[in-house]
């Protein structure tokens, strides 16, 4: 997989040096400024951009990746949308996705930048129903780039915002001037919007990583529990039976082993999780810093709030895990271990231990689900309090 968290199993060290990869798809009708935006993002002319007939050829054009902050960014330019070519266009997109190893467009393109010519300020039916709505329904994060901003009058600017807000309320709208163009009155337009776009791109990547972190943690946790159970039972098999140790020795050995196995394995899961989470937060801090003008006090309070919520979740989880572990240890100590050398008893004890471990696994797993839900809620909280504040500022034009 391209942008991945496969290193979630790795050491903290390896993770801190990891660069994140994000793929961005630039869409929009022909002539709205897609290729000009590619050039602006890259900081050099790598795509042909000019006025007149449709310029960029049919298909999706992947440009070489470049670095932005700690991100590796890969941009795909696209064939301009036209009302009579929507079906061909969609077939091409499907073909492009088939070349990747992702089933879900949102996992390949973390961000779609939809270019909207602010000067013209209209959204056609075919764009809405056949392109935008479908992308949204597939979980794709769309940023609207309101292009040719430097050419717009105040009236055109508010018309653009109004139209987009009406159909896509809450989406981020970023004024873009990709080129600096000489106007008739001898003034030149000023390029703008690059930083804002990258900030939003980081936010989208963060969302994607969090979603995947959560589903992976869940998966990893189930494996860990299964593995821990097997390890304990294997140990039991190797130590019990006719000729091996029995009685107090066996009991103590199994109790010690169970406790160690579970602690170590779950601790490892937790460390992986938090190392990765830290890194995601690092990335968001970069984004946060990039947004100037946001009240520093508000920012500080929100961060404190997140940190304390997260700490509570972790403490809560650790406490309940301790309870489970002690209940299973109590059960193990309660077994009459002295007669364990007899084979049929050995087997029925094994079954009892296995059932008890299953019960423990279910409880721990349920609890981790609750934990991950809280992480998701914390994320939503961050969004609501912080990102929305920033976006609202941009969308109302104060930016």
Ligand X SMILES: Nc1nc2c(ncn2[C@@H]2O[C@H](COP(=O)(O)OP(=O)(O)OP(=O)(O)O)[C@@H](O)[C@H]2O)c(=O)[nH]1
Residues forming the site for ligand X (CB under 6 A) = 28, 30-36, 49-51, 54-56, 80, 147-148, 150-151, 176-179, 181, 189
**CB burial class (10 A; 0-12, 13-18, 19+) of residue 64?**
exposed
Cα-to-chain-centroid distance, residue 335: 47
Per residue in 282-307, is it b (16+ CB within 10 Å) or e — as a string? ebbeebbeebeeeeeeebeebbeebe
Q: Is 97 in the site for Mg ion (CB under 5 A)?
A: no
Residue 10 binds which entry of Mg ion, ligand X, none, CB below 5-8 Å type-dependent: none
Residue 151's binding partner among ligand X, Mg ion, none (Cβ under 5 to 8 angstroms by kind) is ligand X
Question: In the window 110-149, what residues touch Mg ion (CB under 5 A)?
Answer: none
161 binds, among ligand X, Mg ion, none (CB under 5 to 8 A by kind): none
Residue 199 in the binding site for Mg ion (CB under 5 A): no
| Minimum distance of Mg ion from residue 176's CB (angstroms) | 14
Among 3, 22, 23, 35, binds Mg ion (CB under 5 A): 35
Taking CB under 5 A as the binding criterion, the range among 56-64, 133-141, 200-208, 377-385 that sits at the site for Mg ion is 56-64
Evaluate the CA torsion angle 238, 240, 245, 249 in order and state its sign. Answer: positive
Number of helices and strands in the chain (H, E)? 12, 7
Task: For residue 46, state whether it binds Mg ion (rule: CB under 5 A).
Answer: no
Distance in angstroms (rounded) separating the CA atoms of residues 101 and 347 = 46
Strand positions, DSSP E, 187-279: none
Binding span for Mg ion by CB under 5 A among 26-34, 59-67, 238-246, 377-385: 26-34
Least Å distance between CB 384 and ligand X? 32
Q: How many CB atoms lie within 10 A of CB 334?
A: 9
Q: Choosing among ligand X, Mg ion, none, which partner's interface includes residue 189 (Cβ < 5 to 8 Å by kind)?
A: ligand X
Is 325 a binding residue for Mg ion by CB under 5 A? The answer is no
**Cα–Cα dist 180/148, whole Å:** 10
Using the 8-state DSSP alphabet, how is residue 61 labeled?
E
Could you list the beta-strand ranges (E) of the chain: 20-28, 60-62, 66-68, 71-78, 111-117, 142-147, 172-175
Question: Of ligand X, Mg ion, none, which one sits near residue 179, judging by CB under 5 to 8 A according to partner kind?
Answer: ligand X
Contact criterion met (CB below 8 Å) for 209 and 20: yes
Say how far apart CA 143 and CA 28 lie, in whole Å: 11
User: From Mg ion, ligand X, none, which one binds at residue 193 (CB under 5 to 8 Å depending on kind)?
Assistant: none
- Which of residues 80 and 302 has its CB atom nearest to ligand X in the complex? 80
CB of 99: closest distance to ligand X in angstroms? 21
d(CA 21, CA 4): 8
User: Cβ 98 to Mg ion, closest distance in Å?
Assistant: 23
Toward ligand X, which CB reaches closer, 88 or 318?
Answer: 88
Region near Mg ion per CB under 5 A, out of 30-38, 241-249, 312-320, 391-399: 30-38
User: Closest residue to Mg ion, Cβ-based?
Assistant: 56
Binding of Mg ion by 211 (CB under 5 A): no
How far is residue 31 CA from its own chain's centroid? 32
Min dist CB 49 to Mg ion, Å, is 6
Residue 148 binds: one of ligand X, Mg ion, none (C-beta under 5 to 8 A by kind) = ligand X
Please give the backbone phi and psi of residue 375, each rounded to the nearest 5 degrees, phi first: -60, -45
Residue 54 partner contact from Mg ion, ligand X, none using kind-dependent CB cut-offs of 5 to 8 Å? ligand X
Q: How far is the CB of 365 from ligand X (least distance, A)?
A: 50
Torsion of CA 357, 363, 365, 367, to 10 degrees: -150
Q: Counting contacts by CB under 5 A, is residue 78 touching Mg ion?
A: no
Kindly state whether residue 74 participates in binding Mg ion, applying the rule CB under 5 A: no
Q: Which residues pair with 172 in a beta bridge?
A: 143
Residue 258 binds which entry of ligand X, Mg ion, none, CB below 5-8 Å type-dependent: none
Asked whether position 222 contacts Mg ion by CB under 5 A, the answer is no
55 counts as binding Mg ion under rule CB under 5 A: yes
If one counts every other C-beta atom within 10 angstroms of the C-beta of residue 220, the result is 17
- What residues make contact with Mg ion under the rule CB under 5 A? 34-35, 55-56
């Amino acid at each position: 997989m391209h942008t991945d968290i496969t290193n979630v199993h790795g050491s903290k060290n390896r993770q801190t040096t990891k660069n994140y990869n994000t793929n961005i798809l630039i869409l929009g009708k022909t002539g709205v400024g897609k290729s000009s935006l590619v050039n602006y993002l890259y900081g050099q002319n790598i795509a042909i951009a000019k006025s007149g007939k449709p310029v960029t050829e049919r298909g999706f054009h992947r440009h070489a990746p470049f670095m932005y902050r700690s991100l590796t960014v890969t941009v795909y330019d696209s064939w301009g949308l036209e009302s009579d070519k929507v079906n061909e266009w969609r077939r091409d997109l499907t073909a492009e996705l088939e070349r990747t190893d992702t089933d879900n467009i949102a996992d390949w393109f973390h961000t779609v930048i939809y270019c909207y010519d602010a000067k013209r300020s209209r959204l056609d039916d075919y764009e809405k129903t056949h392109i935008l709505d479908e992308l949204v329904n597939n979980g794709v994060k769309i940023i609207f780039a309101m292009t040719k901003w430097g050419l717009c009058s105040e009236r055109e600017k508010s018309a653009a915002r109004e139209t987009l807000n009406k159909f896509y309320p809450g989406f981020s709208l970023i004024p873009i001037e990709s080129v600096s163009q000489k106007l008739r009155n001898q003034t030149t337009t000023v390029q703008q919007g690059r930083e804002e776009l990258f900030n939003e791109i980081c936010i989208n990547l963060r969302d994607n990583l969090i979603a995947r972190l959560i589903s992976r943690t869940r998966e990893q946790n189930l494996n860990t529990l299964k593995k821990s159970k097997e390890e304990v039972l294997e140990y039991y098999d190797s130590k019990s039976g006719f000729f091996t140790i029995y009685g107090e020795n066996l009991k103590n050995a199994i109790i010690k082993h169970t406790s160690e196995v579970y602690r170590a394995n779950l601790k490892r899961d937790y460390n992986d999780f938090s190392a990765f989470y830290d890194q995601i937060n690092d990335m968001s801090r970069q984004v946060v810093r990039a947004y100037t003008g946001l009240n520093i006090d508000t920012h500080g309070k929100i961060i404190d709030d997140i940190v304390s919520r997260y700490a509570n979740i972790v403490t809560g989880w650790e406490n309940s895990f301790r309870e489970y572990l002690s209940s299973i240890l109590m059960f193990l100590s309660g077994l009459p271990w002295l007669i364990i050398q007899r084979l049929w008893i050995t087997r029925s004890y094994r079954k009892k231990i296995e059932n008890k471990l299953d019960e423990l696994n279910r409880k721990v797993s349920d609890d981790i689900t609750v934990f991950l839900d809280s992480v998701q809620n914390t994320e939503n909280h961050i969004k609501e309090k912080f990102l929305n504040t920033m976006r609202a500022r941009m969308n109302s034009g104060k930016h």
